[in-house]
Amino acid sequence: MKTLTFFLITICSTFAMQAQNIRNDKLYRIQNANEDCAYVNSKGDTIVPFGKYLLCQDSIIKEIGFVYSNHGIFCINSQGIELFEVFNYDNGPDYPAQGLFRIIKDGKIGYANMHGKVVIEPKFKCAWPFEKGKAKVSYNCDINKKGEYNFWEGGDWFYIDRKGKKISKPIK
């Protein structure tokens, strides 16, 4: 009985260690002669194949990375799984501000952290980056275009905290 118990503990420990290694594996960007990109893991297995994305921004993905397609900029994790679309700012992914960056879902803006976790679900039509612990947001602003740039006008604006809780009355 002791031998069987030891054997089962050893097997379970081995599987747990292998699962931990898979979760902690990094992705490494590779490019071919056509400058197409792909990601492989430390074993050399292709996780994100050539041609799936137009551009792979990060050379190593430890936790999250950013990739570009014809449909937007996406955040992927170290297993190559798309987590969400990222707000496009200045022709690239939104800059993190106070550990959060803006994301998009169904045309609405929310926020995620640098671990790839959505911390404020996308529900705002317009939303600025966080500054001094708060972000200015609106459910009903107008999105207008001037040349190649979009800008926000009108709407009822207010501030939220890092949990998405409203912390001020509407701002004109």
Share of the chain above pLDDT 70, in %: 85
pTM: 0.81
Residues 35 and 78 grouped into a single domain: yes
The tokens describing 85, both together, are: 């679309």
> What is the widest separation between alpha-carbon atoms in the chain?
77
Question: Range of 63's domain?
Answer: 24-83
16 within some domain: no
8 within some domain: no
11 within some domain: no
Reading phi first (left if > 0) and then psi (alpha if -120 to 50, else beta), residue 79 is in alpha
- pLDDT top residue among 21 and 56: 56
47 within some domain: yes
pLDDT greater than 90 at residue 6: no
Residue 61 CB coordination number (10 Å)? 26
Range from 4-8, 59-63, 121-125, 156-160 carrying the lowest mean pLDDT = 4-8
Range from 32-36, 123-127, 137-141 carrying the lowest mean pLDDT = 32-36
